[in-house]
Structure 1
């Protein structure tokens, strides 16, 4: 199928849809834009009425909190991490109240779900989240998801709701990821460097894109923007799930897409998909260290389905324990990520050695592989 046929088939058959909306779409620059929010709820209600399971991932709690705080005497400013977390605590209930009322007017019930990255990092909690969502969706309830900003710390933050959404696609077993943006779609060049940049109706192979060049690099804060949207689209493409990046401020943009109109940018899924376990393994946490490979090891891992052995490692960077997620690199390229069977200190002792040499240092009770191929995801979108 060409991409239009693939898109039409996906839209026709999609049973579970994850929709993400950010502050840039919901806000008018100072306050929440209630017309945009109400129109979004109307569109999701239409999808639900068609028998589709809908999950909404929504930012806006901090903005809603700041709006409320301006009404207090002295109008306190929410600055710094603690200020933002306090503003989120003030605003999350207000944001949820708006969604709850808007869906209720259309005869639908909502559920608030607040998550930290630690919730998805634990396999037990990950499975519990999957079961909870499954029950809610079977009841026809609309889960409204956000990061639990009030309790999140930097080490356990998703970094942005694009990332959170891409991780939820896995346990939800979603068929489509819709990411609403404040512009018309993905431009074919950096508009700061090329004012003639045009929206791409389809991205055939997202792995082939140079995101740094296209988006001007990742923002200093690493949050939001087209960079994180494309990174998330790359991730879910590995699961075989397409992404529709749509102009979220346009009226009825989601229902128009499902009605067959060409809008925004369609990101095609990959043909060779990864297992849901490997997807969870690779993205449930940030890599704790880096293993530098020689050319032979990089080729064996990349092209021949081999595990990483000690002899193929030329350098070990960072401090980490056995079982930690590590990045595998060759030159300036990331080969993949995987779980290390060794801690950093032991790897520094055995890097570059053959199996019998490793045994002489560590004894017979050692792993033959540093990273087993079953615990390795190639071409990870980091």
Structure 2
């Protein structure tokens, strides 16, 4: 199973969602079998896959009735309990196919911190040399976040050739333009403005995961702004990986966006896109000019505040023409009464989104 080419184009980060591995809090053997054979086909085609798997929390909640609570502590404890069961089952299934795996628990900070990030890459490279497939999960005991976003940061960190988000739908569907009979249609390629694409996405569809389409789109923005082509596809389709890797029609494709800096600033991308926006600040012309010039955005540029958000939340910066011009982590809460010249966003906090509003067909 040894791959001979260690170039970044061979590296594929594959994230699989909770509902694509787990049913009723228990590992679904049929779903797991489909996933493992899909990955094996990728290996045999010369890919170097790195897997990011959800499902630990859902599995852990079944171990004790107290873990069904929605508190952060219950989720963290469920993750700690479920992770061992999830990895053990995946390890066993892959071993039956002759694939050796290794478990990694990471957070986005492990990859975006320059001091820590440089220590992870040699280990991943050695695993590749040994033909060991890494299975990564968010280290949720430190705080439950989102594996889609972790997979996106990881794909940018590795300069992967592809990020594949496997889920329980076949891609992004256009809710605004249904076909006759009221059926939405899948968008084959998502091109255009971030806000316009998000407008057609639905929220979480229920179940035991922590994702949902908007969270997946957040991951898409991180990956594509880091130069990584991204595809959302159905986990039940065993041909999805090969099709996505070869550029054949499958799911919804998110083309890479032009890099503003090379290598991409993953910390900045993570701060700007780690969650869907919690609100917006509307700026006058001076605020838009500050964004265009990559300067701090100050409170005296703001003409209106929308939504309820706290310091550190992801917030859109909107121009006077209602166009979203940037997104980032804001430094003050919505109800803050700070001085007019205080900084809301430093340049390292936001990413420009000076794009068209068209969503591609």
TM range (shorter): 0.7 to 0.9
Q: How does 1:49-60 map to 2 (within 5 A)?
A: 49-60=44-55
Give yes or no for contact 1:121–1:284 (8 Å, CA) kept in 2: no
Give how far 1:243 is off: 1.3
Give yes or no for contact 2:17–2:209 (8 Å, CA) kept in 1: no
2:96 aligned partner? 105
Give yes or no for contact 2:271–2:350 (8 Å, CA) kept in 1: no
CA distance in 1, matches of 2:18, 2:244: 22
CA distance in 2, matches of 1:245, 1:116: 22
1:379 aligned partner? 353
2:232 aligned partner? 245
Larger relative contact order (Cα-Cα within 8 Å, sequence gap ≥ 6): 2
With normalisation by structure 1, the TM-score equals 0.72
CA distance in 1, matches of 2:48, 2:316: 37
Per-residue displacement from partner, 1:52-107 (whole Å, max 9, x unpaired)?
2211000111233345x3xxxxx635212333333322321121112212222233
CA distance in 2, matches of 1:66, 1:278: 36
Equivalent of 2:290, from 293, 296, 301? 301
2:313 aligned with 1:313: no
Q: Cα gap change, 1:33/1:190 in structure 2, threshold over 3 Å: closer, same or farther?
A: farther
1:189 aligned partner? 175
Give how far 1:48 is off: 2.3
Give how far 1:125 is off: 1.8
CA distance in 2, matches of 1:132, 1:316: 48
Instruction: Point out the structure with the larger strand share.
Output: 2
Q: How does 1:164-243 map to 2 (within 5 A)?
A: 164-189=150-175, 195-205=182-192, 207=194, 209-212=196-199, 214-217=200-203, 223-243=210-230
Equivalent of 1:20, from 3, 15, 18? 15
With normalisation by structure 2, the TM-score equals 0.75
Give yes or no for contact 2:16–2:165 (8 Å, CA) kept in 1: yes
Give yes or no for contact 2:13–2:164 (8 Å, CA) kept in 1: yes
1:8 aligned partner? none
Instruction: Point out the structure with the larger helix share.
Output: 1
Q: Cα gap change, 1:327/1:211 in structure 2, threshold over 3 Å: closer, same or farther?
A: closer
Which of structures 1 and 2 has the bigger CA Rg?
Answer: 1
CA distance in 2, matches of 1:120, 1:54: 18
Give how far 1:350 is off: 5.8
Per-residue displacement from partner, 1:259-285 (whole Å, max 9, x unpaired)?
665222222222455544533224158
Give how far 1:142 is off: 0.8
82-91 or 96-105, larger mean C-alpha shift: 82-91
The root-mean-square deviation of aligned C-alpha atoms, in Å, is 4.2
Give yes or no for contact 1:291–1:315 (8 Å, CA) kept in 2: no
Give how far 1:166 is off: 1.2
Between the two proteins, the alignment pairs up a number of residues equal to: 337
